[in-house]
Amino acid sequence: AGSQIQGTRQSRRRKSLAIAYEAGQGDGAEPRRARWEPPRWREQLQRIRDMRSSRDAPVDEMGVQRCYDSSAPPEVMRYQVLLALMLSSQTKDQVTSAAMLRLRRRGLTVDSVLQMDDETLGQIIYPVGFWRNKVKYIKQTTAILKQKYGGDIPSTVEELVQLPGVGPKMAHLAMHIAWDSVAGIAVDTHVHRISNRLKWVKKETKSPEETRVALEEWLPRDLWKEINWLLVGFGQQTCLPVKPRCSQCLNQDICPAAKRL
């Protein structure tokens, strides 16, 4: 009998917990929020959309989504997306785009890169940031793709981040662009900086990966893919790392950082 009573209590508890997150039923009560979210974030987001409506930032014209050959076989296209992402780390979009164009002119496939010597690959991708390291990572990763994935790229974030030279941001963008799958938010320095300036994180975050975790806790999943593209372009044109153009920003009156910058 004791276990039956205990079971009934647990059942009631479960029901009350479930009901706690439902809207008030006819009594005018406000629905309880299941999670924290920043004040006025929808308004801020819409204003950023308005500022980004012309789609003329470097990321729009020369970002990774513009660097691959869309007419190539799917596995070649996906490989080119991953390579562009590896080149793009700590490198301006213009430089990445030019390097990818040079690579594609030579026929950019898993086999063509494996057949290329390190010196030639370095000459082609220079002056991308840390190009010597990237030569090493590209050759290592390409060999793994050939041996383990039949020349394609992995289709999960967990496998992608195991590849040499591939971090979480690249992995999430590869899922977005190459596989059209949203596994998480791709957070680079722009997204990290702007999320902290707008207080879109509960407390200040120290790294892009911390910011990704914090954003995914509250940002609706249907916005996860859009948010990278929006904030990267916004960070390139308006919310600059140094001397942000607050006077030109539509969020000036509702941005927590605007008065301090």
Tens digits of residue pLDDT in 17-31 = 433 333 334 445 555
Q: Which residues are tagged catalytic?
A: 169
Domain boundary at 139, 163, 181, which? 181
Which of 239, 225, 213 is closest to 47 using CA atoms?
239
The residue among 156, 181, 206 that closes a domain is 181
Domain contains 22: no
Q: What tens digit of pLDDT does each residue of 57-110 get?
A: 999 999 999 999 999 999 999 999 999 999 999 999 999 999 999 999 999 999
What residues contact residue 180 under an 8 Å CB cut-off, 6+ apart?
A: none
- The pLDDT tens digits for 160-209 are 999 999 999 999 999 999 999 999 999 999 999 999 999 999 999 999 99
Q: How far apart are CA 83 and CA 35, in angstroms?
A: 37
Rounded CA-CA distance 208/110 in Å is 30
In a domain, 14, yes or no: no
> Which of the 8 DSSP states describes residue 222?
G
| CATH number of the structural domain spanning residue 110 | 1.10.340.30
Q: Is residue 211 part of a domain?
A: yes
Residue 35 — very low, low, confident or very high, per pLDDT cuts 50/70/90?
confident
Q: How many domains does the chain have?
A: 2
Other CB atoms within 10 Å distance of the CB of residue 117 = 10
Is residue 235 scored above 70 in pLDDT? yes
In this structure, the dihedral spanned by the alpha carbons of residues 98, 100, 103 and 107, taken in order and rounded to 10 degrees, is -130
Residue 13: pLDDT band with limits 50, 70, 90: very low
Final residue belonging to a domain, choices 112, 147, 181: 181
Find the domain containing 104 and state its range. Answer: 68-181
Shared domain for 111 and 189, answered yes or no, is no
